[in-house]
Structure 1
Amino acid sequence: MNQTASDDAGDRPLLALVMRLAGIAGFAVMAACIKLASESGIHLAELMFWRQFISLPILLAWAMLAGGLGTLATKRPRAHAMRAGYGIAGMVLNFGGVILLPLAEATTFGFTGPLFATLLSIVILRETVGIWRWSAVLAGFAGVVIIAQPGGGNIPLFGAAVALGGAFMIALISIQIRDLSRTDKPLAIVFWFSVATVVATLPILPFVHNQLNTGQWLLLLGIGLAGTWGQVLITMALRFGKVSSVIVMDYSSLIWATLLGWLIFSNLPTIYTWFGAPLVIAAGIIITWREHVLSKQRLAEQARLPGT
């Protein structure tokens, strides 16, 4: 009882919401910088390298402030290596989706992560999924079909497939992170993924690097800073608010993507996106809400068990 009261006392829901909102804005700025950098001729591998390389000194400084380099320790290097492999593949696909699609559509396809997570929970975790989540999954993928308009030519199908692949990888990675979080701190998980990405992309740079101008270097700096800003803030938001209460802010990224797509690239979402996106967003919210309800029910059942 005392622990629960202490945890509740540490909650600052308004601050958590603001932090999550600002973090999502950081990721939106990063996406816009990625698209601009790619259009200027910078290779995907170089974008990935600088995204993570710039974050390393920031993460190290954060570790020192959070208790020293010991916070980065791990006894599960193999698990981190697997997470890094999936993470790098997901990064290729998510960056690729941003490069190949308008920002709003790439962002909307990214919202399918909870749909894939639900399907993976059935296959990998052997969870039972009820009518609420199944209905949400079907509605969400109906929204994807509306946006993509297969055969209609409004959205490049290859770009849509790449973005959906990125969302699938995020869902798969979330299961790995959930497992890693049992033993390792979130900062350690983020740090070792950054190190792995830098090591994996560094040997490619001599083959893809071209002379960069000042504007391109600024874009690369913007990718690294905005991505780290987003990563730090969405992580810190979970210190002051519950996942179920702050995750709804993630859908604000569609607002940022639409605004930046219009201001920078003169692109507005198609009419199909306006019809399909609400279905995808509603599906994600329903799945998150339902998982929160089921989690509370499981905790209540455990509390009623004798000896607990």
Structure 2
Amino acid sequence: MTATARPHRPLFAIGLRLVAVLCLSVMFVTVRVASEHGVHVIESLFYRQALALPMILIWVALAGGLRTVRTRRIGVHASRMMMGLTGMLLNFLSYILLPPAEAATIGFTMPIFGTILSALILREATGIHRWSAVLVGFIGVLVIVRPDAGHFPIQGVAVAIAAALVTASVSLVLRELGRTEAAGVVVFWFTVLSMIPLGIAMPFVAQAHDALTWGLLLVIGLFGGIAQLCLTAALRWAPVSVVLPMDYSTIIWTTLLGVAIGENWPMATTWAGAALIVGSGLYIAWREHVRARRPVIRSAVPPQG
């Protein structure tokens, strides 16, 4: 039987990705504001997942019901959930400990760590081009942080780098899951399974809040859920190589949102470092695209046996 061609609407996919990135920026900056109102980071994680769950369930129902999310790889989904929660926790903490623009910019090192992990764990061939991009990206981090200047708390920088590293690790697991599981299946099981550890932890950190703080938690959950759905939907209409560059608009949104909540405008070194990191990430993505399109040279010798 002839397989149905995958729809390709790049402009629509780019629009979805931009909406997702904007929603993620709102979510992360709101996490920072909520922490200033006494919200524990575990609470932010819990409500981010719990309030997104109804949207995920509605989406699953419209897609054909629970039969569409059946899986035989629940163990891999559980591992992805724990890694994903750890990455989300570190990302939330990075926005609490660092100004939003700087936290977002350091988070752009994720493709750099992805390259390193692919070479070390997956044994993928990595040439001088991508290793050079990795070096340039780390120089960009040094330009932003300027360890001698003490502009930012070192623990915040360490958390942001750890968040990028864990997120890159999650991308390797997602690559493996993607061989057998649809994106909607992965999103569903991540959201549902994450409620187990978060539900266990909540009694130890849950507390009463005023109306404004509950509103902040609602924003975290709703915008996080919308972002998750838009990220997934964008990949139905265009490949990763088309929509990935849109992620770098995060620096614009987080800068504007940061200024809106009273943060200072990022320093010149932040913009210079961001240029190096973004350039590095885009070059790595371009090299991946080139490698994916490179024709496979088949041996003229017939297989034996």
Q: What TM bracket, shorter-length normalisation?
A: over 0.9
Q: Name the structure 2 match of 1:301.
A: 296
* Contact preservation (8 Å) 1:24, 1:230: yes
Structure 2 residue ranges without an equivalent (≥5): none
**Residue of structure 1 aligned with 2:119, choices 119, 122, 137:** 122
Deviations 1:152-198 (A, max 9, x none): 11111110110110000110000001111112221121122122222
Q: Name the structure 2 match of 1:183.
A: 180
* Contact preservation (8 Å) 1:48, 1:197: no
* Contact preservation (8 Å) 2:14, 2:246: yes
Q: Name the structure 1 match of 2:40.
A: 43
Cα displacement (A) at 1:199: 1.1
Alignment of 1:222 with 2:219, yes or no, is yes
Structure 1 residue ranges without an equivalent (≥5): none
Q: Name the structure 2 match of 1:265.
A: 262
Q: Name the structure 1 match of 2:82.
A: 85
Q: 1:31 to 1:305 in 2, by over 3 A?
A: farther
Separation of aligned partners in 1, 2:240 and 2:247? 11
Q: Name the structure 2 match of 1:52.
A: 49
Separation of aligned partners in 2, 1:224 and 1:73? 25
Separation of aligned partners in 1, 2:32 and 2:57? 28
For the residue of structure 2 that corresponds to 1:152, the secondary structure is coil
Alignment of 1:252 with 2:249, yes or no, is yes
Q: Which amino acid aligns with 2:250?
A: S
Deviations 1:118-137 (A, max 9, x none): 00001110011111101100
The structure in which a higher percent of residues are helix is 1
Separation of aligned partners in 2, 1:302 and 1:239? 30
Runs of 4+ in 1 over 4 A off after TM superposition: 302-307
Task: State how many pairs are aligned.
Answer: 301
Q: Name the structure 2 match of 1:164.
A: 161
Cα displacement (A) at 1:103: 0.4
Separation of aligned partners in 1, 2:268 and 2:80? 37
Separation of aligned partners in 2, 1:171 and 1:119? 9
Q: Name the structure 1 match of 2:140.
A: 143
Q: Name the structure 2 match of 1:108.
A: 105
Cα displacement (A) at 1:266: 3.0
Separation of aligned partners in 1, 2:298 and 2:186? 31
TM-score by length of 1: 0.94
1:229-244 equivalences in 2 (<5 Å): 229-244=226-241
Q: Which amino acid aligns with 2:247?
A: D
Separation of aligned partners in 2, 1:306 and 1:39? 67
* Contact preservation (8 Å) 2:143, 2:273: yes
Deviations 1:64-109 (A, max 9, x none): 1111111221101111111112112111111100110000000001
Q: 1:210 to 1:285 in 2, by over 3 A?
A: same
TM-score by length of 2: 0.94
Separation of aligned partners in 2, 1:195 and 1:22? 24
